[in-house]
Amino acid sequence: MIKSNDTDIQIAICGSAGDGTIASGDIMKRAAAAMGFNVIAFDVYPPEIRGFGKCISRIRISSKQTYSLKQESDVLVSLNDSHAIPHAAEVRDFGVVIYDDNLVARVAEGGHISAHIDAAQIPYGFSIRQISEQATNSSRSRNVVILGCLAGLFDLSAENFHDIIAKKFATKAQSVIDDNTKAFDAGLKAGRTVFRLDDIKVRAGKIKSNGAEAVMMTGNGAVVRGFLESEIESYFGYPITPATSIMERLAVEMPPRGGKFLQTEDEISAIAATIGAAYTGSRAATATSGPGLALMAEMIGLGVMAEVPSVVVVSQRGGPSTGLPTKTEQSDLNLAVFGGSGDAQRIVLAPTNVEGCYRCAGMAFDIAEIYQTPVILLIDLYLSNRYETVVPADAGTYTPKPRPQINLEGGENYKRFEMTKNHISPRALPGQPGLMYTATGLEHNEQGRPNDDAHMDMSIKRHEKLKGAVHYPGLNVSKRFGDKGKVDVGILGWGSTFGEILETMYQAQAEGISCSAMKVVMLSPLPLQSIEDFFDDCREVLIPELNYEGQFAGLVCGALGRPVTRLSRATGSPMVVREILDEVRRLSGREPAPVQAVGAMGARS
């Protein structure tokens, strides 16, 4: 919980594509992380590269552990008033709005943000453009001037900003670093000289102790780091938002480590080559989004059938079809868990935060190799692109486990798909003498020869072998938070939404509601026992998720046959804490049921 003397401010920087909004937010969050704060940051940007689309960078800076962005920002910085005006309302009472009060052009009535600031909000006008021009002879440094203003206003360490600016532009000319530093310093001077209210304060004394060790990364960056630490050997990818940055980062990081990286001609070939490389024993992965996963479904089925390990990262975005390429959604659960032909159970892991992305990616290859099946890492745009501070694991934590050796006399007796006690068979790799076999997508017998009669036995083998996965050591396949024992309301969640769920739960507890929350990280196979235990303890179970159909609720209901209340939202934006909280209050009996237009899918099922 955030106490009143803790630091917990959220800054929203809003501008037009090309204003440097995202870059500004980037420096801000890096500087805050360098100061030792917990940082959660998420950018919203349009699908177009240029043009006049709206960009918002939101950064939550906190001295305590937080789980999601706040619904209300403490500070709004406008680099473009027409985009920022609708966001004035997201600033809390006694929050700050920073804008340019010295415009060079006349604006129409109502076109300036100062006309939209609430009486309870505190306006800070700076001559942002003028300061930039005076410092660097260019208005292009406005995005750095405002950082100076923020640092001055909140007494943030200029040293950290100078350092991050130098690092960010390290590959550019020295003059770029100099100009940005000058712009920052000019903003800093302006920020320090204005009258300050005491309400918003960043208390430097509250820096968390392990701040120096924590690294700030995105969900995608965390996946990359997990892959590298678990010694990924081959990667095949095809560009698609929001998974592309995984590919771009691995393209840089893998070759010097001797890894093989290839941009393929489509998603089908990306997964095909991944499975081809994995067949030879290489630690192989690919990453995509929903549309790419749809194309990969058939090949994932081959991986299940031929028992070839592989890792597929899926960062969901709004769908169906091309959908909302730059907006978040959790609507590929069904495709990830069930996609493809036939009974093709695979392992699906859905981490709930950036740290989880790192840990799941670090363990994914071992899990895939042990269970000899595809592992899907199901994340979403909100997780892929948001920044959080993460404490890295000890060196060697994700070093590959040694492969079990096959001790067989030789070819005559070798059965690639041998029925064993744990249903996992000895896997030969090409190059090993005497163990030649043909892997196939056809149903096959223990030797791997096509055989329809083996279908029932082999179906049992392929499903039973995964059952142990829910006990995989070191992996929290599910975890309960909040009140223990019997509670009135239990919130069950998965993926990126769980941050908002936790925030909600703590607020509900603060209101005196008996409440508990559980995250489910392994979506296939489901950890049914712990979910069932959770249902037994909760009078009401609420499942909030970012899709229209309530896919996770459907999965759980189908597996347990127990009633849940769905809170399914397809808005392209992260879940709103207030909305979950209202539902929790209603279910707890605290308030009369509000009338909500949630549609047929939102009804109790």
Partner 1 sequence: MNERVQPVYLEEKLEEIRADGHLEYRSKSLPTWCPGCGYFSMVEGLTTALKRLEIDSKDTVVVSGIGCASRFPFFVNTYGFHTLHGRVLPVATGVKIGNDALTVVAVGGDGDAFAIGGGHIPHAARRNVNLTYLVFDNGIYGLTKGQTSPTSALGFKTSSTPYENRDAPLHPLMMLLSYGASWVGQAYAGRQHHLADMITQAVSHQGFSFLRVLSPCVTFDKTNNTYANLNTTVRDLPDDHDNSNLMAAMNQASRDDHPALGLYYKEDRETLEQVMKATASRSVKTGTGRADKQ
Residues within the interface to partner 1 (CB under 8 A): 215-218, 220-221, 224-225, 228, 233-234, 236, 245, 249, 252-253, 255-256, 258, 260-262, 264-266, 268-270, 272-282, 284, 298-299, 302, 306, 429-442, 449-450
Cβ–Cβ under 8 Å, residues 177 and 169: yes
Q: Find out whether 349 and 309 touch, Cβ atoms under 8 Å.
A: no
Nearest approach in angstroms of CB 602 to partner 1 is: 35
How far, in Å, CA of 574 to CA of 497, rounded?
7
For partner 1, which is the closer residue by CB, 156 or 250?
A: 250
Least CB distance to partner 1 at residue 274 (A): 6
For partner 1, the closer of residues 149 and 305 by Cβ is: 305
Q: Report the residue number, 355 or 503, with the smaller CB distance to partner 1.
A: 355
SS3 567: strand
Q: What is the dihedral of CA 401, 253, 272, 293, to 10 degrees?
A: 100
Q: Cβ(43)–Cβ(53) under 8 Å?
A: no
CB of 411 to partner 1, least distance (A): 8
Nearest 10 degrees: Cα torsion 283, 354, 31, 200: 180
The full length of the chain comes to 605
Q: Which of residues 429 and 528 has its CB atom nearest to partner 1 in the complex?
A: 429
Distance of alpha carbon 329 from alpha carbon 317, whole angstroms = 5
The three state secondary structure string of 397-419 is CCCCCCCCCCCCCCHHHCCCCCC
Q: What is the dihedral of CA 450, 454, 460, 464, to 10 degrees?
A: -50
Give the dihedral sign, CA 583/585/586/588.
positive
CA distance 456 to 133: 75
Residue 552, token pair as written in the block = 């996770």
Q: How far is the CB of 456 from partner 1 (least distance, A)?
A: 21
Cβ 268 to partner 1, closest distance in Å? 7
Q: How far is the CB of 30 from partner 1 (least distance, A)?
A: 10
Residue whose CB is less far from partner 1, 99 or 414: 414
Report, in Å, the least distance between residue 234 CB and partner 1.
6
| Nearest to partner 1 of 168, 189 (CB atom) | 168
Please state the closest distance from residue 225 (CB atom) to partner 1, in A: 5
Query: Which residue number, 82 or 264, has a Cβ lying nearer to partner 1?
Result: 264
Q: For partner 1, which is the closer residue by CB, 12 or 435?
A: 435
